[in-house]
Amino acid sequence: MLGLLLIITWIVNNPAMSASSPSDWKSELTAADLKNTMNNGETKGAPQQTVVNGWYANDIAAVTAAQNTYIATSSVRNGNLLTLLALGVAGELIIRGTERARNNRSVADA
């Protein structure tokens, strides 16, 4: 039963389903860099370069947000798995304790 819950938790809390995957980040960063290089080639002066740098910062911020979402989702999954493991261990200890108490009572009654 615990194994089934662990598998379901692993699948349901998949960080790749809620955010872009690590394989997408490199292509997104490459696209942002290429776009920045092209836009910088067309600038004439500091004000235009400032605008282009702002666009580049926005593109990079989008990738950073995707990475943070991925990390947060991974942390949630790890927390859920640890909680399930702790509940499984606690349940096992409770079951063994009640069985031991029942066996001790039956031996004392006999």
Alpha helices of the chain — where are they, by DSSP H?
2-12, 15-18, 22-41, 46-109
What residue spans define the domains of the chain? 2-83
35 pLDDT higher than 90: yes
What is the arithmetic mean of pLDDT over 53-77?
Answer: 89
Instruction: Give the chain's mean pLDDT.
Output: 86
Give me Rg for the CA atoms of the chain: 27
Q: How many CA atoms lie within 13 A of 94 on its CB side?
A: 6
